[in-house]
Structure 1
Amino acid sequence: MEAPNKRYRITTFVGLFIVLVLTTLFWFPSVYKAILSGDFEVRNYQMQGVDWLVVLIILGLIRWGERNPLSTLNIKKPTGTLIATGMGLGGFSMLYIFLHRLVLNGLGVTTGFEQQTENPALEAVGPEFVWVYGIFSLITASVAEEIMYRGYATERLMKVSGSYWAAFIVPLLAFVLMHYRKGFDHLLVVLVVGSLMQFYYLKFRNLTINIVGHFFIDLMAYVGILSKEL
Structure 2
Amino acid sequence: MVAMLSVGLAVSLGGPLLIVVATKMLSLNSFSTPGRLVYWLLAAATLVIAAYGGGSWLGHIGIKPFGWFDLASTVVAIIAMLVGAIALQILVTKLGFKDKEGSKLQQKIYSLSVQRRLFIVVTAAVAEEILYRGYAIGMGQDVWGSLTIAFVVSLVVFVAAHFTHGAKALATVFWISLVMSFLFVYTGNLFTCIIAHFTIDAFGTLFAPWAAARHRAQAALSASEG
Q: TM-score, normalised by structure 2?
A: 0.82
- After superposition, the Cα gap between the structure-2 partners of 1:112 and 1:71, relative to the gap in structure 1 and judged at 3 Å, is farther
Distance 1:59 1:90 in 2: 26
Report the CA distance between 1:229 and its aligned residue. 4.0
Contact in 1 for aligned 2:6/2:143 (Cα 8 Å): no
Contact in 1 for aligned 2:81/2:179 (Cα 8 Å): yes
Q: Which runs of 5+ in 2 are unaligned?
A: 215-226
Report the CA distance between 1:113 and its aligned residue. 10
What secondary structure sits across from 1:27 in the alignment? helix
Deviates more, 1:147-156 or 1:69-78: 69-78
What residue is the counterpart of 2:63 in the other structure? 75
Counterpart residue type for residue 14 of structure 1: V
Distance 1:93 1:112 in 2: 24
What residue is the counterpart of 1:5 in the other structure? none
Counterpart residue type for residue 50 of structure 1: V
- After superposition, the Cα gap between the structure-2 partners of 1:152 and 1:208, relative to the gap in structure 1 and judged at 3 Å, is same
- After superposition, the Cα gap between the structure-2 partners of 1:111 and 1:86, relative to the gap in structure 1 and judged at 3 Å, is farther
Count of residue pairs brought into register by the alignment: 212
Q: Choose the corresponding residue for 2:187, options 180, 204, 220.
A: 204
Deviations 1:203-227 (A, max 9, x none): 2211121112111111211211222
Instruction: Give runs of aligned pairs for residues 101-180 of structure 1, distance below 5 A.
Output: 101-110=89-98, 117=105, 119-120=107-108, 122-123=110-111, 129-180=112-163
Contact in 2 for aligned 1:114/1:225 (Cα 8 Å): no
What residue is the counterpart of 1:3 in the other structure? none
Deviations 1:113-136 (A, max 9, x none): 98563753745xxxxx42111111
Report the CA distance between 1:95 and its aligned residue. 0.5
Distance 1:137 1:101 in 2: 22
Report the CA distance between 1:92 and its aligned residue. 0.1
What residue is the counterpart of 1:188 in the other structure? 171
Counterpart residue type for residue 48 of structure 2: G
Distance 2:167 2:192 in 1: 27
What residue is the counterpart of 1:224 in the other structure? 208
What residue is the counterpart of 2:217 in the other structure? none
Distance 1:158 1:104 in 2: 34
Distance 2:94 2:107 in 1: 25
Contact in 2 for aligned 1:87/1:216 (Cα 8 Å): no
- After superposition, the Cα gap between the structure-2 partners of 1:217 and 1:18, relative to the gap in structure 1 and judged at 3 Å, is same
What secondary structure sits across from 1:198 in the alignment? helix
Report the CA distance between 1:54 and its aligned residue. 0.1
What secondary structure sits across from 1:54 in the alignment? helix
Report the CA distance between 1:152 and its aligned residue. 0.6
Q: Choose the corresponding residue for 1:49, options 25, 37, 55.
A: 37
Contact in 2 for aligned 1:88/1:213 (Cα 8 Å): no
Q: TM-score, normalised by structure 1?
A: 0.81
What secondary structure sits across from 2:116 in the alignment? helix
Deviations 1:66-91 (A, max 9, x none): 14566232122223332221121111
Rg: which structure is higher?
A: 2
Report the CA distance between 1:163 and its aligned residue. 1.4
Distance 2:31 2:106 in 1: 12
Distance 1:111 1:91 in 2: 26
Counterpart residue type for residue 91 of structure 2: V
